[in-house]
Structure 1
Amino acid sequence: MITQEQKALRTVPYRYDLDGLRGIAIAFVVLFHVFVGRVSGGVDVFLLLSGYFFLGSQLRYASRDHASANPWWPIWRTVRRLLPGLLLVLGATAAVALTWLPQMRRVEIIDQFTASLFYVQNWELAAQDADYNVASDTVSPLQHLWSMAVQGQFYLLAIALAMIVIWLRRAGINLSRWVGPLLAAVTVVSFLYAWYLHGQDQSLNYYSTWARMWQLTLGGLLALYGHRVTLHPRLQGLLTFVGLAMVLSTGVLFDGAALFPGPAALYPVGGAVLVILGGGQGATAGWLARPVMRWLGDIAYPLYLWHWPLLILSLALLERDAVSIPHGVAVVAASVVLADLTHRLVEKPLRQHAKRPTAGEARARAARAQLRISSAARARAVGGAALAVVLVGLLTVQGVWQARLSSADGAALDPAQYPGARVLLGAEAPDVDPKPEPDLVGSIFSRVWTEGCISRFGDDPRVLPVDEQGADCIFGDADGDREVYVVGGSHAEQWVVPLNALGQEHGFKVIPLVRQSCPTFVEDRAGVFEPDCAEFNERVVDRLAEADPDLVLSTATRPAVEDGGRVEELPESYLTFWEFLAERDIPFVGLRDNPWKTFEDGSELSVPLCVLDTGDLYGCGVGEDEFYQASDPAAEILDPLPNAKAVDTSGWYCADGQCPAVIGNIFVYRDGNHLSVPYVHSLAPLLWEEIAEFL
């Protein structure tokens, strides 16, 4: 029995005005990304229209009497629609980024190539805690592909739903009447989840497929029921005009990255809904259906793919951190040209043009026959083979990178060839290329990071990682009867590396109580640190009071980066922690911080990537007086205290007024301010000289 929904779906006319809406939505995405640096809401409209067109088409096919129950065909058709353009853009991006832009050779970007290929980029960005940033020369050129991942995942779910409808119809169960209520329930639940998650974790909310699902399923609902809404043509024309105005004004009124897909997304999505309910009536709909607008809709997908890599890669190649008007115009023009060429020369020839097969149709056999008699079919096969080569090449990027990273050996460099800080004790440094390779060193982390022994941004500040991880977060000699606690932020954490070696040699255990960007204090007297940091520090001081360790070690100075500072200071909040230790007679060693390499505006400059780009070991380093005060500001406070000591480490990084990028054939830094794992490991003998008296 054919239901009313099935009959209606078979007679829904194609809406060319919605092609135009899709095109102008993506055009505004491009313009706002390039010239405004904000989210325009165009992607939200694009997702709604994807649900409208794709889910509608799947359900229309499922309503046919002889629909094929083979899921391969809709998947293959979708792959041929989406993958050629994506492979072309990813291949070009990889060629430029990995060949000419060392700053793009970062482990998180390498991982994103694979994530983009498998349509999980949104979850990869969420796992990397990546905010949706405005364009700059350091942002990932693949950041925008999160929405393609959401769309791809939805397409698989839509195909699965259509297949279930077909399979159950063959079993005598008509599910069609329940599809609409099911989509309505999913839409409501997803919207409520997006509303909830907006207040809990907006970064995850922005990328989450489940928070975005309501926009796609709402499009599916409109495909099912939108054509049933009958209104006066003049009212329909008014709805289309108002809806388009809402879509186009979204980027001016809302900061989409901070608000969508929560309730605020109802504004652009609601505008698109009004256009759909307008039924293609009125002058506005006529304008949207004009050939030029339909052409813009045709190239919307490749335009979206191309514009962001072109923008980011050009910023990096031109060494700019902002977009000028001429530069932006050039990016937009190049994006449009490449999008049109991609559509005409790649997408259209490789797209599945034939209708989907019905049950029993031998489509694969017919395709093989076409290869023997049709030059166009052979050309398509060659094009597909070329893209398959690109696919294989892209899939090897992450594997090759991981192999290089594994062979970099972390801290275990040959001390005869790579003495590092040992040259400060008289060791000779032979004439060899420094290690680790500058494009790899930034991806080599200590076990504190890889074993989850540091509390990261977003982690529960009430939980100390050592309490969750247990023995995995106890370093040095786990059976030692003396305890050294390392407390503070990531600049304190890096000292666990040499302490681990020293603990194994001298029989003491090392326990890190560290959190990102969270120096240890009892009271935040400057009011510059996050509430989570204060809460974490409450747990730290409670643990120290209970443990009464043999030694506590941390950094004693830092620049006031929260206020744009670039020179080391002694934060007043540190004194509250030192007083706490002194009252309990807990020994403390405060290490002077290592230099930070920054631009004039305070943003970070990666030292190893600077060397890779310029080869200037000193120019990529830091002038000693650019960071350090004339004397260690912590010494006059710590040295008079009982059981406390200030260690001036400036000589461990600087000589003759310069703090170079390489010492003893080892890169000193892994980024702009953190010491590399092998270099800080080489500091173990110097550190032992300073702490041996306590142990």
Structure 2
Amino acid sequence: MHVVTAPTRSTERTQPPRAQRAGAYRVDLDGLRGVAIALVACFHIWFGRVSGGVDVFLTLSGYFFVGSLLKHVLLSQTPTVSLWAAVDPRTRLTRLVRRLLPALVTVLLAITVLTIVVLPQTRWVSVGREVIASALYYQNWHLAFNSQDYTAASSANSPLQHLWSMSVQGQFFVVTMLTALAFCGVVKLASRWVPALTRPTVLRALVSIAILGVAAVSFYWAQMRMGVNQQFNYYDTISRTWEPLAGGLLAVWMPKVRVPNAIRALVGLVALALIVTCGWWIVGVEEYPGPMALVPVLATLALIWAGATATQRGDEVPQPVVNRALAGRFPVWLGSVSYALYLWHWPLLIFYLAWRDKNHAAFVEGVGLIAVSLALAWLTKRYVEDPLRAPRSAAAAPSGGRHRVADHSHADGAATAETLGDPALPRRRPRPRFAAPGYAGVLTILLIVGSLATGVGITAWQRHVDGIVVDTTNLDPKIYPGARAFLDGAPVPKVDAVPSALEVLKDLPETSYNGHISSFTDPAIHVGVYGNPNATRTIALAGGSHAEYWISALDILGKQNDFKVVTYLKMGCPLSTDPNPTSDGVPYPQCADWVRRVMDRIVATRPDAVFTNSTRPRYGITDDWVPPDYIGIFQRFHDANIPVLGVRDSVWPHNAKGPIDTPTCLADGGDAKSCGSDRASSYGPRNLTDDLVAQFPNLHPIDLSRGWCTDTFCPAVIGNITVYHDWHHLSATFVRSLAPELQRQMQLALPWA
């Protein structure tokens, strides 16, 4: 449903080629979309930064969509036009579906196939969930709740991560459309008592006030949430809504001031320069959609205005040079394939990096990826999008057919927006021969069948993974010595490691399955009792997930040596006196409150000992240390005369490329060495907890690092047991193999343990 941008012969005789008549199709905005998608692709592939191109798309889609709705709202107030016929959400939704879903489904099917071919099985479930989230337009919420950074690409990134913006815009279109329908109904009802409400100027004023109000709330929310949870904020529809609404506000009230051409040219030039360069001097993943997003948004509005002011007087004033450049053949062509190009470029990049086991694409590789993406985008548009758009005759306005609907199709996954145009608009391109009903019907059937098959396959695989039960409690220690291979020199026969790369994902501590650990958002203290519940002696296991996994060994020792283990655990929340804790850079105030309450309870119940972490990686994954905020915890237990078993943290697997997800690395063909870490980059020459013993005599260091590292290396598989069940948590099976050494060290401090 895209109107031809080239003028017809009859138009050429009456309209100079560099002039644009009032209400005509804005070819230059097609070119702006082309510039935006070029920025998005280049910044993703080569620079690992956010370009601001998505913000351009959001603004343009709001401009077209809100402007279209406003014109139809005005029409709906005409006595001869019904409310439903003017706004008609059914028709609009149908057109959006025809415009957006064919290409999206095609890419999702390709991603599904490539996931099976290229990615290891450990990632199939997560990608499958994102396929469904993208198809149903809630991918942004899926990513937000999983706190994924939208930054430099690597082989570990999701191939569907870029589709968050489509979800934001899809949600915006549906809500805005329904709001317009409700608004029309209210105005029609209220106009019985206040006829002035149907006047165009009054309607525009009411719509403007509504848009300003909602945009202001959204902008405040985006700015406020930056300091609360920026990773979530980046994907949040509420935080993003002000951007398309800014474009919508310009559509409602386009300034009609006469300004010299030189000023318009300067405004356009500065605006385009800001759009092209803002990705370099704004760290978008940290600043958007906060106040700094005003740069690409206002620059987009300025370009729209600069090109539109030439038409306000009805004369044939040429557009500024920047807008004419944007209306050039190549930018417009790039804009025409921008939606498909946006869909293709990111998954191709991620799959290529995964295939080559790289985190970055070189220049030549990037050129190849862009060339392939452009080719696929063109093929998708020509043989998938165009045939299924179902071109229809232009809708006639009530005035007798003087107005024609012109569609601006948005590039970033989102919008077909209507604008009432001029009767002299160029005619539509004839339907391509490949778009015959037979071809379109077969293509539709293939996409539907492919979608159903993909959904069934994803559901079946997820059920298979969910049904995996890991039971390694009775492993033969002679075949699977685990940590004893390092600690005792136990022989290691040649057998496949257990749990397998897929099974180890489910090899979690007992407390996780029993609900005895609080989630990030759960303020409650979930107490679990393990070991011998009837014992008179008690060890309190307290802290975050790196304290939690020790329950698999402590439970065994408690049953053997007649002591009780009482758990106080919360995800991502080690015992610390930090008043402003964070988790992955996100403020985590719930942790500080939870720690205060847990410390009060532990001190009040006076266990015979507390088992908790005493060290942590200094730089996220390397170089362990004793965080200063741990000292206050040790001091309080010292004052209460409660012994503390301070366990040295395990290695957080990494190499020169960054963190390693052990199950994925192994499933992708890696081995104990290639998926392992150098000890020197993880640990210093000694356990720094030892330095605190003189200050806190009740602190007893526990160092089990010899169980998972040699003098030089920390493998991913030890004694035929997979060491980690994810990025940095020990598997329950491996922890059980550490139980004898843990008992030996505990008994040095607590003979009864």
Decide whether aligned partners of structure 1 residues 236 and 258 sit closer, same or farther in structure 2, where only a CA change above 3 A counts: same
Give distance in 1, aligned partners of 2:65 and 2:726.
45
2:278 to 222, 246, 250: 250
Matched, 1:22 2:77: no
Q: Return the letter of the residue paired with 1:193.
A: W
Give distance in 1, aligned partners of 2:531 and 2:258.
75
1:675 to 716, 719, 730: 730
Q: CA deviation at 1:350?
A: 1.3
Decide whether aligned partners of structure 1 residues 288 and 594 sit closer, same or farther in structure 2, where only a CA change above 3 A counts: closer
Decide whether aligned partners of structure 1 residues 586 and 18 sit closer, same or farther in structure 2, where only a CA change above 3 A counts: same
Q: CA deviation at 1:138?
A: 1.8
Q: CA deviation at 1:442?
A: 3.7
Q: Return the letter of the residue paired with 1:441.
A: V
Decide whether aligned partners of structure 1 residues 625 and 540 sit closer, same or farther in structure 2, where only a CA change above 3 A counts: same
1:553 to 611, 614, 620: 611
Residue 42 (structure 1) aligns with = 53
Superposition pairs of residues 396-435 of structure 1, within 5 angstroms: 396=456, 398-410=458-470, 415=475, 421=482, 433-435=496-498
Matched, 1:260 2:288: yes
CA contact (8 A) 2:480 2:719 kept: yes
**TM-score normalized by the length of structure 1:** 0.81
Superposition pairs of residues 133-212 of structure 1, within 5 angstroms: 133-164=151-182, 177=203, 178-212=206-240
Give distance in 1, aligned partners of 2:484 and 2:341.
54
Residue 381 of structure 2: SS of its match in structure 1? helix
Q: CA deviation at 1:599?
A: 0.8
Give distance in 2, aligned partners of 1:657 and 1:292.
56
Superposition pairs of residues 292-303 of structure 1, within 5 angstroms: 292-303=330-341
Q: CA deviation at 1:508?
A: 2.4
Q: Return the letter of the residue paired with 2:545.
A: S
Matched, 1:57 2:72: no
Q: CA deviation at 1:253?
A: 3.0
Residue 436 (structure 1) aligns with = 499
CA contact (8 A) 1:438 1:608 kept: yes
Residue 125 (structure 1) aligns with = 143
Matched, 1:77 2:95: yes
Give distance in 2, aligned partners of 1:493 and 1:479.
21
Superposition pairs of residues 473-512 of structure 1, within 5 angstroms: 482-500=537-555, 506=562, 508-512=564-568
1:7-29 per-position Cα deviation (integer Å, ceiling 9, x unaligned): xxxx8332111111122112111
Decide whether aligned partners of structure 1 residues 414 and 53 sit closer, same or farther in structure 2, where only a CA change above 3 A counts: farther
**TM-score normalized by the length of structure 2:** 0.76
1:326-385 per-position Cα deviation (integer Å, ceiling 9, x unaligned): 1222222222221111111111111132158899xxxxxxxxxxxxx9981121121112
Report which stretch shifted further, 224-233 or 70-79: 224-233
Decide whether aligned partners of structure 1 residues 480 and 630 sit closer, same or farther in structure 2, where only a CA change above 3 A counts: same
Q: CA deviation at 1:574?
A: 5.6
Report which stretch shifted further, 49-58 or 335-344: 49-58
Give distance in 1, aligned partners of 2:483 and 2:289.
54
Superposition pairs of residues 80-479 of structure 1, within 5 angstroms: 80-102=98-120, 105=123, 108-164=126-182, 177=203, 178-226=206-254, 231=259, 233-278=261-306, 279=308, 281-355=319-393, 376-396=436-456, 398-410=458-470, 415=475, 421=482, 433-442=496-505, 445-446=508-509, 451=515, 453-454=517-518, 456=520, 468-471=523-526
Report which stretch shifted further, 340-349 or 654-663: 654-663
CA contact (8 A) 2:574 2:613 kept: no
More RCO (CA 8 Å, sep 6+): 2
CA contact (8 A) 1:454 1:513 kept: yes
1:462-509 per-position Cα deviation (integer Å, ceiling 9, x unaligned): xxx6xx334466666778765432234432221134445666785724
- Across the aligned residues of Structure 1 and Structure 2, the Cα RMSD in angstroms comes to 4.2
Q: Return the letter of the residue paired with 1:259.
A: E
Q: CA deviation at 1:262?
A: 1.6
Q: CA deviation at 1:620?
A: 3.4
Aligned length: 658
Residue 105 of structure 1: SS of its match in structure 2? helix
Residue 614 of structure 1: SS of its match in structure 2? coil
Report which stretch shifted further, 491-500 or 295-304: 491-500
Decide whether aligned partners of structure 1 residues 452 and 247 sit closer, same or farther in structure 2, where only a CA change above 3 A counts: farther
Matched, 1:588 2:599: no
Identity of aligned residues (%): 35
Decide whether aligned partners of structure 1 residues 12 and 410 sit closer, same or farther in structure 2, where only a CA change above 3 A counts: farther
Q: Return the letter of the residue paired with 1:591.
A: V
CA contact (8 A) 1:410 1:677 kept: no
Q: Identify unmatched segments of 5+ residues in structure 2.
A: 1-21, 192-196, 311-318, 398-432
Which has the larger helix fraction? 1
2:671 to 593, 616, 626: 616
Q: CA deviation at 1:106?
A: 6.5
Residue 589 of structure 1: SS of its match in structure 2? strand
Q: Identify unmatched segments of 5+ residues in structure 1.
A: 1-10, 360-372, 460-464
CA contact (8 A) 1:26 1:304 kept: yes
Decide whether aligned partners of structure 1 residues 410 and 481 sit closer, same or farther in structure 2, where only a CA change above 3 A counts: farther
